[in-house]
Structure 1
């Protein structure tokens, strides 16, 4: 008696291998994406150490470490350096102006809107010739998503 060995056609074996690698790639990509999304405070620690130091001094680090969504309006480094010598209360008041409860993408800042900050102050939104201004300070549309909010960059420092 002859023994017959059934061999799957080559295209089926390649298809199975291909679907295995696609599945593996998608699962690995999902895990990487989840681990790369850090909190707003982790972002500050890793990418903007001076900002992280000032947020800690101001007592705002726990706010940006939790699960509640916030938008962090990040001023330039030179503006932050000018805050470093200020009293604790001043640092807190200024940095609280740069935190808004909720996720605000650049498109969410509508002309004439008033947005309340964590410090209780109001920021007025202006739109002029394609530029968004928050209390007269221009917004760089960064829209960087974090686990607990969004990071936006400013070209200056908001004052209470």
Structure 2
């Protein structure tokens, strides 16, 4: 009986393990759950603008720390949707406070997977409000199984790649830049 139980548990562990530890590819690079948010994002060719902004704002040490954090990570294409000159202006030393506010608006304390978000949206009767590191609020809603965020200005962003595991949290890739008030 003991042998059968051990074999059954081994089978369950083998069946579950690949999904639990599945790595995601973002920006052409396999993301490692052993690396932190900044290390993994730095490897993504789709997040070079975000990584440059994080470094310019001086947030790399924070997002490399233990966390955990959930980062709603806009792609280069998302930043390109902003009005011409916006990113260049935000990267100037005189705009550092605005850049920090924008970037920390994309970060929520804790590790929130898409399943966590979807469950909390259902519990919240269709929406969930998240408090960001900037002190702002993001509203999470769902359309079927698809999750999207509504920023304080009413802009919407969809999660395009969910649950990218990090050593200090999770990245949810989004298709537009979220804007605080």
Same topology, TM > 0.5? yes
Write out aligned runs for 1:1-160 (5 A).
37-47=34-44, 48-81=47-80, 82-86=86-90, 87-109=95-117, 110=121, 111-135=126-150, 136-160=156-180
TM-score (norm: length of structure 2): 0.63
The answer to whether the 8 Å contact 2:148/2:158 transfers is: yes
Supply the distance in 2 between the matched residues of 1:106 and 1:84 (Cα, whole angstroms). 32
Q: Choose 1 or 2 for highest CA Rg.
A: 1
TM-superposed deviation, 1:95: 0.8
- Contiguous gaps of at least 5 residues in structure 1: 1-34
Supply the distance in 2 between the matched residues of 1:65 and 1:76 (Cα, whole angstroms). 19
TM-superposed deviation, 1:107: 1.7
Supply the distance in 2 between the matched residues of 1:133 and 1:45 (Cα, whole angstroms). 24
Q: SS of the counterpart of 2:108?
A: strand
Count residues with an aligned counterpart.
126
Q: Deviations over 1:33-84 (max 9, x none)?
A: xx86100011122223322210011221111111121011111203335423
The answer to whether the 8 Å contact 1:54/1:84 transfers is: no
Cα RMSD (Å): 1.8
Supply the distance in 2 between the matched residues of 1:151 and 1:36 (Cα, whole angstroms). 11
The answer to whether the 8 Å contact 2:108/2:132 transfers is: yes
Q: Classify 1:107/1:36 alpha carbon distance in 2 versus 1 (closer, same or farther; 3 Å).
A: closer
Supply the distance in 2 between the matched residues of 1:131 and 1:44 (Cα, whole angstroms). 23
TM-superposed deviation, 1:141: 4.1
Q: Deviations over 1:116-140 (max 9, x none)?
A: 1110111111112332111121112
- Contiguous gaps of at least 5 residues in structure 2: 1-31, 81-85, 151-155
Supply the distance in 2 between the matched residues of 1:36 and 1:121 (Cα, whole angstroms). 28
TM-score (norm: length of structure 1): 0.71
